Chains A and B, each alone.
Chain A
Amino acid sequence: MAESGSRLLVADDNKVNRLLLGRSLEQLGHRVAMAENGRVALEMLRREAFDLLLLDMEMPEMDGFQVLEQMVADAHLRDLPVIVTSSLEGVAHVARCIELGADDYLPKPVNPVLLKARISSSLEKKRLRDQQQALVKRFATSEVAQDLQQSGFALGGKRLVATVMFSDIRGFTSIVEQQSPEETIELLNTWYTLMFDAISGRGGVVNQMIGDGLMALFGAPLPLADGPRSAVLAALDMIEMMQLLNVEREAGGKPALRIGVGIATGEVIAGYTGTQHRATYTCIGDTVNLAARMEAHTKLAGQPILIDQATCDALAGSLNLVSLGPVAFKGKAAEVPVHAVPAPTC
């Protein structure tokens, strides 16, 4: 249940008030910690996890208003519900507390029935907010979640320079035909887990999963130092993980998997597309198309990792590359130089 067993902090300089409020909350089944002024309360909030703060306004050293101001400015404390308990008089005080982000206001002496109702409601709101954040994280990347939290949601894109990666499993259709759908789902989950690890381990973000393929970004939505190099190293990690998975698969009599990875660097337009109700973080532009073409070309080239000229330039000779010369791609007027990153064989 949302309202039982929560951890609450009571901040009040008056000992009688503190003990009485603590008692009421314990009777409601909560665990209670106490602070005798605002400064101590803030220290405790920054050190330990609480579900709710009951805050007195009139306190020495640091008063309740100052605590509220500091909490608004602190990303970790901004969402913590606060119920102000005070015997300060005047609507102006109450209004100021609410403006500073307090959820509710209870006059002292606190009525136990009202206290119970307000606490239940605040904890329920917090539970929903936590759930919502967890959902956003499950269906968006944590980078997108962070970007959403910081900048809010707005449709529309902005131009930025990023490295784009496409990858998929070679010959996936024939693998699917040889096994049960359950096995296929399990294989995809294993594959995605490994690829996500490799990509996020190098600071990249998987922003699309399509069947047996994925698209990843390095340097969007959040900037990344040395995105091109990170993308290539992630691709090498992906190949290595595939090889490890294949050892296991071959031991079980299953065919080995092979992947292709295409990487391109340049300007992209990134942002939220869709409607106000349903939107996705997308990245479009020539760089994205080029990365997709590179990935498709891995089949023809017989190479697992192909990169474009811009990515190659950014590596500045720090990795061994094989130049495959210019290639004519569909949708490109001029031929495009392609470089292969040889994968180590095990």
Chain B
Amino acid sequence: MADTVIDAATFAELQEAAGAEFVGELIGTFFEEAPQMLAELRAAQTAASADAFRRAAHSIKSNANTFGALRLGEMARELELGGLVADTAPLETLQAEYERVAAALRELSRG
């Protein structure tokens, strides 16, 4: 598991491939979408809906990996493959990691 919030190499590759300006816009889209995905994940856990839970975790994993948020991606992956969790603790851990990722991405897109 990566120690950094955002893997610098992955992020640099993304910027190089798609252009820094476009990545800035993409981060904006991620900020709009991610809270909704996290909310869907929580709702699925409450409703014990395994399908919706897996799908939401899958989406978070996919976007996290795109930006190089490898730890967030790994956490989401464990939820996707592990299925429904009994208590909300893993979701809170995921939420906290997302906040760190969001802060780091905000910093990166400013720079």
Contacts and interface: CB of A to CB of B under 8 A. Distances in A.
Interface of A: 13-17, 19-20, 23-24, 27, 58, 60, 87-89, 108-109, 112
B33 A108 contact: no
A88 B62 CA distance: 9
Contact of A109 (B30, B33, B65, B81): B65
Interface string B5-25: 000000000100111001001
A16 B65 contact: no
Contact of A14 (B14, B17, B62, B81): B62
B71 interface: no
A267 B94 CA distance: 76
A89 B76 CA distance: 13
Interface stretch (B41-49, B53-61, B83-91, B95-103): B53-61
Given A13-B59, A20-B18, 5 more contacts: A16-B63, A24-B18, A89-B81, A108-B66, A109-B65
26 contacts: A13-B59, A14-B59, A15-B29, A16-B29, A16-B30, A16-B33, A16-B63, A16-B66, A19-B25, A19-B26, A23-B18, A23-B26, A24-B17, A27-B17, A58-B55, A58-B58, A60-B55, A87-B58, A87-B62, A88-B58, A89-B81, A108-B66, A109-B14, A109-B65, A109-B66, A112-B17
A14 B63 contact: yes
Contacts of B29: 15-16, 19
Interface of B: 14, 17-19, 22, 25-26, 29-30, 32-33, 55, 58-59, 61-63, 65-66, 81
Q: Which of A16, A24, A60 counts the most chain B CB atoms within 10 A?
A: A16
A15 B61 CA distance: 14
Contacts of B33: 14-16
B62 A108 contact: yes
A15 B36 CA distance: 12
Contacts of A89: 81
A24 B55 CA distance: 24
Interface centre among B30, B59, B61 (most CB of A within 10 A): B59
Contacts of B22: 23
Contacts of B58: 58, 87-88
Contacts of A88: 58
B100 to A, nearest CB: 18
Contacts of A14: 33, 59, 62-63
A242 B22 CA distance: 66
A15 B14 CA distance: 16
Nearest to A12: B62
A17 B55 contact: no
Contacts of B14: 109
A109 B26 CA distance: 14
Contact of B61 (A19, A23, A27, A87): A87
Nearest to B54: A58
